[in-house]
Structure 1
Amino acid sequence: MDDMDLTSAESKATYKQIQNYVLEKFGFKVSTLYIAQVKKKHGIEVREHYNISKNENHKVPQCPIEKEEAILDVLKYYKMI
């Protein structure tokens, strides 16, 4: 099966697939927050999350560079970017 045979749904990875790929290839875990941040940064549409903090002063951790590069590798592997 070549790339032209893939439907758009088949070429998209789930968050779980992305996490598993990063763990297998790079040996560390990535959170769904980091995946969403990288996807948003590169123009991939993400849905609004349901667990929005009610605290106005909440601090959102930012994805470290090495984890961002690993997530980008997965997104390229699945031809999402």
Structure 2
Amino acid sequence: MDLSEFKGKATYEQIKAYVVEQTGLKVSSLYIAQIKKKCGLDVGENFNLQKSENARQPQCTPEKEDAIIQAFRHFGII
């Protein structure tokens, strides 16, 4: 089985599982999307739009950001 076609592709669930396994930290899909945007990677369209314009959105902590970037490197995304 040739896995080279999957290089650079990982689901959010795979990234979450890798981060928990490696660091013990739980990360949300929101945090993964924030880091993808920060790295300049393509993020899919959000269908769950905010109801108000000034809604507060939680920001990813630096330790979780490092863990997500480590997962991106593991999966060959960056």
Q: Deviations over 1:15-58 (max 9, x none)?
A: 00000000111001100000000011101100121111111210
User: What is the distance in 2 between the residues matched to 1:15 and 1:70?
Assistant: 13
- Equivalent position to 1:20, from 13, 17, 21: 17
How many matched pairs? Answer: 77
Name the TM-score, length of structure 2 as normaliser: 0.91
Distance 1:18 1:55 in 2: 30
RMSD (Å) for aligned C-alpha atoms: 1.6
Query: What TM-score comes out, normalization by structure 1 length?
Result: 0.88
Q: 1:36-75 to 2 correspondence within 5 Å? A: 36-75=33-72
Give 4+ residue runs of structure 1 displaced > 4 Å after superposition. none
Structure number with higher relative contact order (C-alpha < 8 Å, ≥ 6 residues apart): 2
1:35 alignment counterpart: 32
Q: Which runs of 5+ in 2 are unaligned?
A: none
